[in-house]
């Protein structure tokens, strides 16, 4: 039993050594200071930096995606507007073509009318000219002929004119008579 007694004789393990308390306190406080001052801020900063880097990357990706979507929308819009534009141009061109065609048709027909008219006029003029010249020539020829036949110089213009007129009216009268007879 002696050894058991010896154990009991020693100081109770629950009685602290004051110096040990002091040294433990000192050590703990020093470590706490180092942790608060250096270790914790460093690790917090590492976490924060990493979080920011990841969030920054995500934000950047999101931004790029939004930009791409915007570009695609713009492109689609442009495509649509280009399509509309093309359709408009096509319609315009068609209208224009029709207008030009109509104009040409009109112009051609008016030209044709004008040409016809001109031709008519020329014909008329030529006919009247021919009529006049024929009348004069026929008069002259007839006068000459009559002169020769009558043997009478019909130099006096006035008289010859009168003779021609009388002859012509006689001619016309005979023609009318003939026409009336033949009817």
Q: Which residue has the tokens 């570009």?
A: 71
Among 49, 106, 126, 144, binds another protein (CB under 8 A): 49
Please check whether residue 143 is in contact with residue 163, taking contact to mean a CB–CB distance below 8 angstroms: yes
* Residues 154, 143 contacting (CB under 8 angstroms): yes
**C-beta atoms surrounding 160 within 10 Å:** 19
Identity of the residue, 25 or 86, whose beta carbon is nearer to another protein in the bound complex: 25
C-alpha–C-alpha distance, residues 56 and 122, integer Å: 95
In the bound state with another protein, the residue whose beta carbon lies nearer, of 45 and 72, is: 45
Q: Is 56 in the site for another protein (CB under 8 A)?
A: no
Q: Could you tell me the smallest distance in angstroms from the CB atom of residue 59 to another protein?
A: 17
* Cβ at position 61, least distance to another protein in Å: 18
Nearest to 166 by CA among 137, 139, 141: 139
Give the nearest distance from C-beta 36 to another protein in angstroms.
Answer: 5
By CB under 8 A, name the binding residues for another protein.
Answer: 3, 6-7, 10-11, 13-21, 23-28, 30-32, 34-36, 38-40, 42-47, 49-50, 53
């Amino acid at each position: 039993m002696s050894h058991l007694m010896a154990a009991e004789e020693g100081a109770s393990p629950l009685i602290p050594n004051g110096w040990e308390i002091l040294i433990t306190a000192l050590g703990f406080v020093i470590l706490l200071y180092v942790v608060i001052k250096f270790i914790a801020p460093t690790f917090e900063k590492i976490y924060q930096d990493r979080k920011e880097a990841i969030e920054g990357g995500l934000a950047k990706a999101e931004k790029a995606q939004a930009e791409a979507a915007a570009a695609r929308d713009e492109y689609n819009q442009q495509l649509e507007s280009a399509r509309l534009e093309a359709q408009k141009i096509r319609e315009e061109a068609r209208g224009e073509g029709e207008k030009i065609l109509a104009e040409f048709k009109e112009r051609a027909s008016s030209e044709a009318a004008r040409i016809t008219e001109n031709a008519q006029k020329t014909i008329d003029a030529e006919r009247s000219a021919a009529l006049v010249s024929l009348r004069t020539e026929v008069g002259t020829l007839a006068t000459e002929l009559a002169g020769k036949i009558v043997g009478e110089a019909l130099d006096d213009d006035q008289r010859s004119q009168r003779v021609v007129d009388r002859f012509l009216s006689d001619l016309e009268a005979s023609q009318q008579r003939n026409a009336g007879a033949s009817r």
